[in-house]
Amino acid sequence: MDRDGVINRKAPNGFYITSWKEFEFLAGVSEAISLLNRSGFKVIVISNQRGIARGMLTQQKLQSIHRKMLASLVGSGARIDAIHYCPHNEGECRCRKPEIGLFLKAQRDFPEIVFEESFVIGDSWRDIEASKTLGCKGLLIQQRQVSAKTEVESLPIDGQASSLLEAVKRYVIPGPSGESSK
């Protein structure tokens, strides 16, 4: 899953989450991740972090944010199995979504991952495009109405929800309480 806009409130366009005090979990995130954990899913964050390339954030500060995010989630009974991020500008690498380099790294780390049985959950066309390249199901999180036509509209989306919790309960682990077998 993506981080900004899925796990935490996304900074306005052109800005980045640069400290823990700016990081704000979205409603239901720990419950959604806990449901995934209990259902046997690996929860891996794949995130573009261009703020590093732009000099607005250091890798050390990003790792500090991630350590605090992980600790907070564990305190709520939720676990993220791995975090992979791209610190580059566009066109500088093969890992920045919609490229799939970070997803392939995650699969090397967890060989049991089968993309055709996996979900990519994100809030942008980059996430959905990566899901299609990998053969995963692509779930789009949109907290607000989009007035203008977006690039996402031209991509096949396997599901759309207003939150990670809604996406998990509706598409990943459907059932009366969001708990069914995988």
Catalytic residues: 2, 4
Tokens of 85: 């991020």
Contact residues for 71 (Cβ-Cβ < 8 A; gap 6+): none
- Give the number of C-alpha atoms closer than 13 A to the C-alpha of residue 65, restricted to the C-beta side: 23
Tokens of 139: 């779930």
Closest CA to 135 of 120, 149, 152: 120
Instruction: Quote the Cα angle for 106-44-54, to 5°.
Output: 85
CB atoms within 10 A of CB 1: 25
